[in-house]
């Protein structure tokens, strides 16, 4: 099963090349970035040994669609998607916080709540909530943007301003934009029979203007529930049907891996690789309502390089 896991591409005029857990980022000048979405799979801050066919295409095309849909709310970094796995965009000065917004008590927020905490990132949490209950209003629980290999950490608005991580006026705008993006994403999800549970947004600046960066409303950065049956499952105390990368984490946990010292990544055979690939395609089709068209994997690196070079030559 061929996948775009290990990328060996260079461009004639590139200045720098950064390899992240999932993406490869090339800079060409002070304003242009080329981002290739690989098929690498990361969980518990560990990159799995095998890639997932079409995962990069799924994430790249989802992000591109949502960047276009939200451009009326906030400008974003995207210029073009000349290839199914590539986005070309503006280089931004990244802000040092991620804006995490939660509409429901799930994931990390639930684990903190279950441990007895009633405050998250300086936000008070109501008593008497159950896992996956809806908050009275969405809450913003920011996190720091960790360096490579480190974990993001919760941080309050007060500490962000006290530490000077973001200018106060800019931060107020970030909060406003975050609420607007979440409302837009929630409305879109609702039309697809889904609930946008929580998500995160990354921002940067260009000449002092706020720009939305990276991916948005993808299953790697967001959590979705199926709307149908949500209330019934909640009233019965049953698990919610999720549409996110959580199913990968659960499979790893069931096979004894959570990224802890001394643990080994379980073997992923062709069957589980194909299953994960099919689930990512299912995610795409359910979130967008659009049939997923698999890109040609024959000479995929040549395809990507050729499409990028053609775009840059016309720019």
Q: Are residues 204 and 295 in the same domain?
A: no
Task: Specify whether the CB–CB gap between 266 and 252 falls below 8 A.
Answer: yes
Both tokens of residue 213?
């960066």
Phi-psi sector, 85: left (phi>0), alpha (psi -120 to 50), beta: alpha
Q: Judge if 111 and 235 occupy the same domain.
A: yes
Residues 51 and 189 in one domain: no
Q: 183: domain range?
A: 94-243
Q: Are residues 145 and 216 in the same domain?
A: yes
Domain boundary among the residues 243, 275, 293 is at 243
Name the CA dihedral angle for 236, 239, 242, 244, rounded to a multiple of 10 degrees. Answer: 150
- The CATH number of the domain holding residue 33 is 3.30.200.20
Q: Who contacts 98 (Cβ-Cβ below 8 Å, separation ≥6)?
A: 142, 143, 144, 145, 152, 200, 201, 202
**Four-residue CA torsion sign, 298, 299, 301, 304:** negative
Q: Tell me which residue of 60, 76, 1 sits closest to 307, measured CA to CA.
A: 60
Q: Walk across the sheet containing 78-83 and list its strands.
A: 16-19, 23-27, 32-37, 86-90, 78-83
Same domain, 83 and 185: no
Q: Which DSSP symbol is given to 36?
A: E
173 in a structural domain: yes
Q: Are 210 and 304 part of one and the same domain?
A: no
CB 122 within 8 A of CB 142: no
Q: Tell me what pLDDT residue 67 has.
A: 96
Q: Are 92 and 228 in contact (CB under 8 A)?
A: no
pLDDT for the residue numbered 233: 97
* Within-domain flag for 100: yes
- Rg from Cα positions in the chain: 20
Residues of the chain with pLDDT under 70: 146-151
User: Is 310 inside any structural domain?
Assistant: yes
Say yes or no: 235 and 114 in one domain. Answer: yes
CB atoms within 10 A of CB 72: 9
Which of residues 209, 243, 277 is at a domain's end? 243
Distance CA 19, CA 23 (A): 6
For residue 110, the domain's CATH number is: 3.30.470.20
**Are residues 200 and 306 part of one domain?**
no
What is the reported pLDDT for 240? 92
pTM of the entire structure? 0.89
* Pair 14, 3: CB distance under 8 Å: no
Does 26 fall in a domain? yes
72 with 45, same domain?
A: yes
Query: In the chain, how many domains are there?
Result: 2
User: Do 98 and 238 share a domain, yes or no?
Assistant: yes
pLDDT, position 20: 87
Pick from 217, 243, 269: which residue ends a domain? 243
CB within 8 Å of 185: residues ≥ 6 apart: 66, 70, 196, 199, 216, 217, 222
- Is there a domain that residue 98 lies in? yes
Report yes or no on 138 lying in a domain: yes
Closest CA to 200 of 226, 225, 174: 174
Q: Are residues 229 and 255 in the same domain?
A: no
Both tokens of residue 204? 């940067």
Residue 161's φ and ψ, nearest 5 degrees, are -75, -40
Structural tokens at position 5: 């896991």
Supply the DSSP string of 220-281, one letter for each residue: TTEEEEESTTHHHHHHHTPPPPEESTHHHHHHHHHTT-SS-TT--PPP--HHHHHHHHHHHH
Asked whether residue 156 falls in the same domain as residue 78, the answer is no
| DSSP-H helix ranges across the chain | 55-69, 107-114, 157-162, 168-191, 230-236, 246-254, 270-288, 300-314
Question: Is residue 9 in some structural domain?
Answer: no
Q: Has residue 1 been placed in a domain?
A: no
């Amino acid at each position: 099963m061929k996948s775009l896991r290990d990328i060996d591409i260079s461009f004639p005029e590139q200045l720098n090349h950064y390899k992240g857990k999932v993406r490869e980022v090339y800079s060409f000048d002070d304003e242009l970035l080329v981002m290739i979405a690989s098929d690498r799979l990361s969980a518990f801050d560990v990159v799995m040994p095998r890639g997932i066919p079409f995962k990069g295409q799924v994430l790249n095309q989802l992000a591109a669609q949502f960047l276009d849909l939200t451009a009326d709310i906030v400008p974003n970094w995207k210029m073009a998607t000349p290839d199914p796995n590539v986005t070309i965009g503006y280089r931004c000065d990244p802000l040092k916080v991620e804006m995490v917004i939660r509409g429901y008590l799930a994931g990390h927020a639930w684990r903190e709540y279950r441990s007895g905490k009633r405050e998250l990132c300086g936000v008070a949490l109501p008593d008497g909530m159950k896992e996956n209950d809806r908050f009275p209003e969405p809450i913003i629980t920011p996190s720091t943007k960790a360096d490579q290999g480190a974990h993001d950490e919760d941080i309050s608005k007060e500490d962000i301003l006290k530490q000077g991580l973001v200018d106060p006026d800019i931060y107020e705008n970030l909060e406003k934009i975050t609420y607007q993006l979440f409302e837009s994403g929630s409305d879109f999800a609702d039309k697809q029979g889904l609930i946008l549970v929580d998500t995160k947004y990354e921002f940067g600046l260009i000449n002092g203007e706020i720009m939305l960066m990276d991916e948005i409303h993808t299953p790697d950065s967001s959590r979705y529930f199926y709307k149908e049956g949500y209330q019934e499952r909640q009233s019965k105390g049953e698990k919610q049907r999720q549409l996110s990368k959580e199913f990968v984490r659960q499979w790893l946990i069931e096979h004894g891996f959570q990224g802890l010292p001394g643990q080994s990544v379980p073997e992923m055979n062709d069957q589980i690789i194909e299953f994960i690939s099919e689930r990512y395609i299912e995610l795409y089709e359910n979130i967008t309502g659009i049939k997923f068209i698999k890109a040609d994997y024959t000479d995929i690196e040549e395809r990507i390089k050729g499409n990028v070079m053609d775009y840059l030559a016309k720019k």
